[in-house]
Structure 1
Amino acid sequence: MEINSIMSNQLAQLQQTLQMTIMDKALNAGAGVVEMLQEMPASAAEHPYKGQLIDVQV
């Protein structure tokens, strides 16, 4: 077997391994985000001005 063929096969295997590693990390990060969002308290946002004193001059 030629050296170019061997190196080409090794490069293809390395690329596949790298792609799988990146996909695995992305999936794990996505699962962590979903878990974090589910653990957040479900409190309603405060009204931006309701209940505050507003000075209006006409």
Structure 2
Amino acid sequence: MELNAMMSAQLASLQQTLQMSILDKAMTTGAAGVVEMMENLPQQQAAPAAHPYKGQAIDIQI
């Protein structure tokens, strides 16, 4: 009976180790994908974006 309990504990430990390994690999793969996606983003222009209407029209009422 004691041997069965030790084997059960070892199996539980092995399962936890395997799950952590799979999770670690998934996170690494996901992080690598994000880095690749960010590297492939088009570079933003250095100039600030133009205001949608400022300086385009003047509305004066008297």
TM range (shorter): 0.7 to 0.9
Alpha-carbon distance change, 7 to 36 in structure 1, aligned in 2, over 3 angstroms = same
Question: TM-score by structure 2 length?
Answer: 0.71
RMSD value, Cα: 2.5
Structure 1 residue runs of 5 or longer lacking an equivalent are: none
Alpha-carbon distance change, 42 to 12 in structure 1, aligned in 2, over 3 angstroms = same
**Which residue is equivalent to 1:37?**
38
Alpha-carbon distance change, 6 to 40 in structure 1, aligned in 2, over 3 angstroms = same
**Which residue is equivalent to 1:24?**
25
Alpha-carbon distance change, 6 to 36 in structure 1, aligned in 2, over 3 angstroms = same
Aligned residues, how many? 57
Question: d(CA) in 1 for partners of 2:32 and 2:26?
Answer: 10
Deviates more, 1:46-55 or 1:26-35: 46-55
- 1:54: Cα distance to partner? 8.2
- 1:43: Cα distance to partner? 1.6
- 1:24: Cα distance to partner? 0.2
